Each structure stands twice: as structure tokens, then as C-alpha cells.
Chains A and B, each alone.
Chain A
Amino acid sequence: MSNDNNPFNILGSDKVPQEGGQAVTEENKSGDLNERIASLIKSSDIFLFMKGNPQMPQCGFSANVIGILNAMNAKYSTFDILTDMDIRQGVKVYSNWPTFPQLYVKGQLIGGNDIIMEMYEAGELEQVLNS
């Protein structure tokens, strides 16, 4: 299908959006909180702490970042912070960042919705994801 005919291509990407997100859960919750968080982030080069999951985001900002990642055909993993209050509070301290969603690339926090939008529009996000 030509991209011009794709009514879902609201972000104007030159690629057809693909659902590349995989929601993950923890196998072992017994360790130190910071180690649990670090091992989640390490589980994928592109990792998103969000509300809900890629198929059903529970917050407009999370949905927006999912839309951008899918528009870029990114392969990424997500964790639903609404399912775990320890992780939810712990990540804020771990990253020194107070809100969700939070996008990590190769272990480095890249930003929340505002920053991801700004970087996407400036073409900088693609460079970071492909780095």
C-alpha cells in the first residue's frame, strides 16, 4: 500500500508505522530496586517506561511516544509502571526525572514526551535511535 493512502500515517513519516513494541514483565522481583530497574532498561537497546502497553497506552503522552516509535519502525520494549508502585517511584529517583513516559536508548535516558516530540520534529531522534 502506498504511504499516501495510509490514513494512520498522522505523523507524516515516510515509512508505514509498524508495531515494534514488546511489553515486558520482570522474572525476578527479589533483587535490589535499582538493579531491577537497570536490568529492565538493559533488556532492550530502546526501552520505554510507560503507562499501559504499546497496544493499549493508558495516557496520552505514552500513546504519543508509542506513535512516534512505531512511525520510525523502532524495535523496543516497554514496562507498564502502573503495575508496580516500587518501580514507578524507583525510576523517578534512578533517572532524576519526575514524570512518565521515559525513553532510554542504550541505557541513557533520552527524554519524556516533550523532549521526544522536539527531537522527532528536528530529526534528531532518528540519529539517536540509529546510533
Chain B
Amino acid sequence: MVEFTTVENLIKTHLEDAVVRVTDLTGTMDHLGIMIISDAFEGKILIQQHQMIMDILREKLDSNEIHAVQLKTLTKAKAQAQGVLNE
């Protein structure tokens, strides 16, 4: 179990421009859906974008604070194209 703000802040300390949205997939606060919007993903293929996030979350996953994650990573341009970022 983990506080969503902890996850958000952890990601933002590594990716400063990131917009992070955490959702609870199972009601137990340890299976998380995480959407991350950041231009740090620019030029990277999807698996590399996910690996960046998994590396940031590694400790939380290893300690079982988080059991499983479903990631959605987007660059700002892609997020705007898909209508999930209105800036």
C-alpha cells in the first residue's frame, strides 16, 4: 500500500516536467494505474518509456508497497493530440 502523492512526487523528482495521474485499479491501493505525461519520453520507444518509470518505481515494487502497475506514458504533444492534456 502506498500514498498516491508519494508516487507522484517520486516520479516528479526524476522527471521534473511530469504530469502524473495515479488511479487505484483494485481498491487496495497497491495495484496502480499510472499515467505520466512528460517530454522526457520524446524520441524513446514505448518500452523505453515504461522502463524509465519502472526504474524510478523499482524500490516500491521490490518492497511490495506496490504490487503491480499499469503504465500509460505520453509526451506532451501526444497527450494533447489524444485530448488528455488541456494546456
Cβ A109 vs Cβ B47 within 8 A = yes
**Partner pick for B70 among A97, A108, A111, A114, CB 8 A cutoff:** A114
Pairwise interchain contact B46-A98, C-beta atoms closer than 8 A: no
Partner of A97, one of B45, B51, B71: B51
- Size category of the binding interface on chain B: 10 to 19
- In the docked arrangement, what's the CA distance between A98 and B67, Å? 12
CA distance A97 to B51 in the complex (A): 7
Q: List 19 A-B contacts (CB under 8 A).
A: A96-B51, A96-B54, A96-B55, A97-B47, A97-B51, A98-B54, A98-B61, A108-B45, A109-B47, A110-B46, A111-B46, A111-B47, A111-B50, A114-B70, A114-B71, A115-B46, A115-B50, A118-B46, A119-B46
Question: B residues engaging A (CB < 8 A)?
Answer: 45-47, 50-51, 54-55, 61, 70-71
Binding site for B on A (CB under 8 A): 96-98, 108-111, 114-115, 118-119
